[in-house]
Amino acid sequence: MPPADTPSRRALLRGALAVSAVAATPGLAHAATPRTTGASVAGYRNPLVEQRADPHIHRDPADGRYYFTATVPEYDRIVLRRSRTLRGLATAGESVIWRKHGSGDMGAHIWAPELHRIDGKWYVYFAAAPAEDEWKIRIWVLENAHADPFEGSWTEKGQIVTAWDTFSLDATTFTHRGDRYLAWAQHEPGMDNNTGLFLSRMANPWTLTGPQVRLSTPELPWECVGFKVNEGASVIQRNGRVFLTYSASATDSNYCMGLLTADADSDLLDPASWRKSSEPVFTSDDTTRQYGPGHNSFTVAEDGRTDVLVYHARQYKKITGDPLDDPNRHTRIQPFGWKPDGTPDFGVPVADGPAGVR
C-alpha cells in the first residue's frame, strides 16, 4: 500500500476524473540554440511510438545511436530499441531486456525505466513493487558491462536506499561539475502530498551519498489537481543554468510540466538555489488535441545542435475508468528553442502527423 498518511495513487487518479482542469542528454552543455521548428528533426511523425509512456531517449556519444526505453502498459517488463535516427525508433525492433519477478520486491508496477551509460557500463533505473503489495513502489537499478546493451547480461544491483523507506520512483541521473547526482520523486513522511522532488550526490551508480534534499513539493494549484505530485524529473544544462523539468497532478489531461532553475555555479544541494516557475511550461492543448503531456526527457537531433523534447501524451481528454488502465499514452518528440532570457521555450504539444511544426 502507499504511505498510510496519503491516499493511494489509484484512488486519487479515479477521483481526478471528476475534477476539471486548472487554468537531452542530461548534463550536456552547449551554447544557446536558435529557435527551431519540427522540420529540424527530419522525417519523423507523432506519435513516434504508440503505447509507450514515460519515454527516455539516450543518444550515446560512443556510437551516435539513439536508445529508447519507456513504460509498457502491462507494467511487466523493460524494453529497449535503438536507431541511428530519431524517426527510426518508430520502426526499430524492440527487445525485452528484463522481466518482472514472479514474486517479491520486483514483481509488479515496472515503471519509468531510464537507460544511462556511466563509466563504460549501462545502467537502467526503474520503479518496481512487490507482487504481494503493488503500491510499495521503490527505485531499482540494473547494470550491464557489455559495450552493447542488447548483449551481455543485466545484473540486478538492488534498491537505491533513500532516507525513508517510502513510496519512491522516477529516478534520473546527471553530472554537474564532476559530481554525479540522482533526482527522484518520493513521499516524505509528515508531508500532505504524494511525492516531492529530491536530489542527492551519488557514491556510485546505485548508491547515494551525503545529504538528500527536497527541491520541490506540490504547492501550486496546477500541481495538485486530483493528485499532489511532483515526479518525472529530467535535467538539461544550458546558458549557465541547470534546468530541471518535472510533471505534476493526476495522469489524465491535468498532467503537465513544471520547471525548476538553478545557476550553474550555485550549490545544487541547497534548495534555495532553485527557482520554481509559477506556471506550468507545457500543458494540454485543445487546438492540437494533445492531452496530459509530461514525464519528459531530453535528447538532441541528428544535427547535434537542436534540442529535442521527448514526452508522452494522449490524443483525447475523456478517459473511461482509471487513467493507469488506459494504454494510450504515446511517445512524442518535438524540437524546442530558447527564449531571449536563456530559458527553454517548449511551446505547445504539436498535433499528430508528419514533422509537426511548432
Catalytic positions, written as ranges: 54, 231
Sign of CA dihedral 311, 316, 318, 324: negative
* Nearest-angstrom CA–CA distance, 348 and 358: 7
Contact (Cβ atoms closer than 8 angstroms) between residue 329 and residue 13:
no
Q: Give the residue carrying C-alpha cell 518535472.
A: 246
Contact (Cβ atoms closer than 8 angstroms) between residue 58 and residue 333:
no
* Nearest-angstrom CA–CA distance, 330 and 312: 5
Contact (Cβ atoms closer than 8 angstroms) between residue 236 and residue 344:
yes
Q: Which residues contact 339 (CB under 8 A, 6 or more apart)?
A: 345
Cell of 304: 547535434
Cell of 305: 545542435
Q: Which residues contact 60 (CB under 8 A, 6 or more apart)?
A: 66, 67, 117
Shortest CA distance to 303 belongs to which of 82, 120, 34, 55?
34
